[in-house]
Structure 1
Amino acid sequence: MYVERYQNGDFILDSAELADRFGLSKDDLRRNFRKGLVTSMVERGEGEDAGTCRLSVKLGNRIWRAILNSEDRVVSEEMTFRRPDR
């Protein structure tokens, strides 16, 4: 996954690659973004994890997470599924 970081700290992900992670076309992913159905979060590592970041993107019950090293390269990623609330 290609990740770019702006000088202000914002991350930019390749939309085609992100869509692929969710099993969607780029158009379907964009449609979900426009509807406000996609959320994201950035967590910065502390202590022994200082310099790393965890990116999380959520769509429905699916959450894609990636760990970035200090050079903003993906060192691991996973797709998880959230159980519905009871």
Structure 2
Amino acid sequence: MNRIERDGEGFVIPAVLLAEAFRMTEDDVRLAMREGTLTSLCEAGEGEDAGRWRLTFRHAGRACRFTLDGAGAILSTSRFPVRSPPRASA
């Protein structure tokens, strides 16, 4: 799969892409998103990166980043470790 669907101002990410990136099942991806343990950040490119988008997903100390063109074609994908944010105290 080399394209992510545009949905107005945002994107629709197929669960299979995240399942592969985080070595999870698609059902586990959906559950993690509902529970808030799989989070996302969408950034629009500026300057020489105008017209590109960066979608970053984080889960369990790992991140997956997709760089897209304006039509949603995947230009690059990267995976890397990240520090987990501190948990909110009750």
TM-score by length of 1: 0.87
Name 2:28's counterpart in structure 1.
28
Please give the alpha-carbon distance, in whole angstroms, between the structure 1 residues aligned to 2:66 and 2:12: 13
**Where does structure 1 lack aligned partners over 5 or more consecutive residues?**
none
Please give the alpha-carbon distance, in whole angstroms, between the structure 1 residues aligned to 2:70 and 2:28: 32
Please give the alpha-carbon distance, in whole angstroms, between the structure 2 residues aligned to 1:6 and 1:28: 23
Q: Does residue 62 of structure 2 align to residue 37 of structure 1?
A: no
Identity %: 35
List 4+ stretches of structure 1 deviating above 4 A.
Answer: none
The letter for the 2-side match of 1:55 is: L
SS of residue paired to 2:16: helix
Q: Does residue 27 of structure 2 align to residue 5 of structure 1?
A: no
Shift of 1:84: 5.9
Name 2:58's counterpart in structure 1.
58
RMSD (CA atoms): 1.6
Deviations 1:13-36 (A, max 9, x none): 111221111100111112211211
The letter for the 1-side match of 2:57 is: V
TM-score by length of 2: 0.83
Deviations 1:33-73 (A, max 9, x none): 12110110111111111100000011121110011013220
**Where does structure 2 lack aligned partners over 5 or more consecutive residues?**
86-90
Change (3 A) 1:60 1:78: same
Count of aligned positions: 84
